[in-house]
Structure 1
Amino acid sequence: MKQIEYLEFIIHLEKQIRSVVQDTFPRPWTEDYLSENLVKKLTKTINGVKIVDLERPFDLKCDAFKLKGTCEQTHGDIAILVVFESWEGEKLEGVGFLEAKKKYEKSRKYDKLKTAQLKNIKKKTPLASVLLYDWEKITEFNDNLVFTNSQYRWNFRYFERELFTFYTHAVVVPIGTVIELGKNTTALYKYCWRNRKLGNFDFS
């Protein structure tokens, strides 16, 4: 199993997300194309790694799928399967679901982000999240970043090497939050989750 420091893992993952979005915009800027290519990148990046340089290191095995048909309608666009093993040997297997939406050039909003559709997904998949793609830099998640003291020191080293910058091209917001707000704009970015270990996965 490959060992990797936590922020190095985040940086590598972020680079994959950026490459997918940057290679897709302005054409073909479609949700299916974005999601299918993101799934390919995720399976290569996050499967079979041991996260180290933390007070509590952990092992992570993942797989990701682009859903279609009935599964897509009831659960969302992407399913991520996760096997998490803690530093004390406990093992959890879970799945996370993402409903993906792109920002439109003309309106600069998420035109197809509809509350009725999200409510339908939430009935079957209450822990689903909404994945928002944007060709422009997203920085509003900075307030939600969580680092340990060791990660702060590690982070400064990477700032000096210009390998880590606080922007992304895709964020995840809990589906219940999006429904409650009833918005389809970039105002949703400030409610996104970043750098969570086990957020919004169903381990039941």
Structure 2
Amino acid sequence: GGGFQQGFLNKGAGALYPEGSTEAAPPLWGSTLRPAQPVLELTTLPERYEVVGRFHEAGRFLGKEDFAVTRNGRELHVKGNPQNDPQSLVAALDETIKLPLDAEWDGMSAEFAEYCLRISVGRNPDVAALLAELRTLLPEEEASALLDKSDSAEQLAGLLAHAAAAQRAEQSKAPAQRPPPTAASAAVADGEAHTSAADADPPTLDKLSVE
């Protein structure tokens, strides 16, 4: 029952923090309770994405071995306490973040330093250009809904062509014609040919070691 869980939490905290200490076990990642707010944040930088989790309150009681990072398609999954330590401060951490289509998974890395878990994923400049172009053609909400359903750069290029044709049809009130490929979509057709087969397959689960 709840009494046992509360006692377990107190016992786990007591092992790390002496009786009477002004510190307390961070409630954010309690052993049995889910965090009230997401711990992980996605940051967009010009050349890469960073998924960052800050664990300063736990301080020196955390290390890289306290996190398991896996990738499934466009999703990153971070789980705390893969070693099932009964006194872990991140046992309740279990979050998934979906990255945008221009995420380039080759060379993805993860590190835990200065109490921060930081996962870096590169960005494909050709696909990033397509994303920017699509957002100029469609309202933000509509563009986001379409992008959420897309699983490959080829699908994105098709969406862009359709959106451009629809916009021109609206402007001219004439039947929409399929537009010639833009420079960005042509580059994607070139550069993404080798990945399209992989995109079509069911996503595979990649485990990432935290440095």
- Work out whether the TM-score is over 0.5: no
